[in-house]
Structure 1
């Protein structure tokens, strides 16, 4: 069995941000069903980075002089896709939820890229169901079933802009949020942007 990735588009309709990767599954024999488990990884060491990108990603990979040992593959997602019966080849859609949580390395990486392409590797496992002399049989996908795809960075950035226009998200502990909220009330600030800006101005940031 061979699996190709030939495109990506925003999942629609979707209440939360997600990308649909468009697959084409090829099989030598008729398939009754396929349960496809995918580990999606970002091969961060398979692209070049300019000075701007290195600055934006320093929090993830460290200073530029350490990138030779620190830049490596990042796990983006694990998904399960069910493909119905087909003969020869069939399309399939692999939906990947996306987050703006900067505690997730993949989100930090994708946000930090100014442009270009993201080198992706799809590692597939799963179970193929087929007929043999009229009896339903099951077999595991070979361990080396995988595919590469270079996703335009704009696919992720445009998705985030659609769901969170001109904003980004950070997660705070309750105690930190309570102190931030108290600062906002004490200084009669209108919104959270004003609150954070006032702290940055005070600290000289």
Structure 2
């Protein structure tokens, strides 16, 4: 059976994608140096939050995901980040390819909320591989990639921030229910506010003032 070894050589933003995309550099080695005709490669990427430490301001921003810090020993579970696939062309021995991974900035998605909460350092990722490898010195043979094939990657937080800034400079996204959006639209129209930023600023100021009066 063809024995493939995978490693991640780095990750960088895709500068010309139609949406936020990261490029994961993959190094693939066939240890027996049999000719590989092609690989239909699938990759599942998980965040492993227990494999790093956190600054106090990061802890505050992660309470919605993991609860109070005293519970983190049991709540700091892996987060699903992405699924991606690629067709790897023929090679013998070793090849290197870029795996494009589309990303979301929707903060309702746990991984995006986690990334946004981090201020510096690295993001520990686990890449799990599957798919089919087509090989054979004489003839053509299709073999499954064993499920235990995996590699790790520590993506700098700045790489994520650079990617988001390239596609959404200075902005963020919030998804709300239609009825909530309609109420916000009515509020904006009623007060003749020029932007959504003004709507949120006024509502936050009103909430702060109410809180001060209550105390």
Give TM class, smaller chain. Answer: over 0.9
1:24-71 per-position Cα deviation (integer Å, ceiling 9, x unaligned): 110121100001111100111111112111001111111111111101
Q: Are 1:139 and 2:140 matched, yes or no?
A: no
Aligned residues: 204
Could you tell me which residue of structure 2 aligns to residue 95 of structure 1?
100
Scaled by the length of structure 2, what TM-score is found? 0.92
Q: Are 1:60 and 2:36 matched, yes or no?
A: no
Could you tell me which residue of structure 2 aligns to residue 122 of structure 1?
127
Q: Distance in 2 between matches of 1:142 and 1:59?
A: 36
What is the deviation of 1:9? 1.2
Could you tell me which residue of structure 2 aligns to residue 112 of structure 1?
117
Q: Are 1:149 and 2:153 matched, yes or no?
A: yes
Q: Distance in 2 between matches of 1:142 and 1:69?
A: 30
Instruction: Please point out which of 13, 16, 25 is paired with 2:16.
Output: 13
Could you tell me which residue of structure 2 aligns to residue 76 of structure 1?
81
Residue ranges of structure 2 left out of the alignment (5+ in a row): none
Could you tell me which residue of structure 2 aligns to residue 175 of structure 1?
179
Could you tell me which residue of structure 1 aligns to residue 25 of structure 2?
22
What is the deviation of 1:12? 3.1
Q: Distance in 2 between matches of 1:98 and 1:178?
A: 28
What is the deviation of 1:158? 1.1
Could you tell me which residue of structure 2 aligns to residue 160 of structure 1?
164
Q: CA RMSD in A?
A: 1.0
Q: Distance in 1 between matches of 2:128 and 2:18?
A: 27
Which of structure 1's runs of 4+ aligned residues deviate more than 3 A? none
Could you tell me which residue of structure 2 aligns to residue 36 of structure 1?
41
Scaled by the length of structure 1, what TM-score is found? 0.97
What is the deviation of 1:6? 0.7
Could you tell me which residue of structure 2 aligns to residue 199 of structure 1?
203
Q: Distance in 1 between matches of 2:12 and 2:96?
A: 14
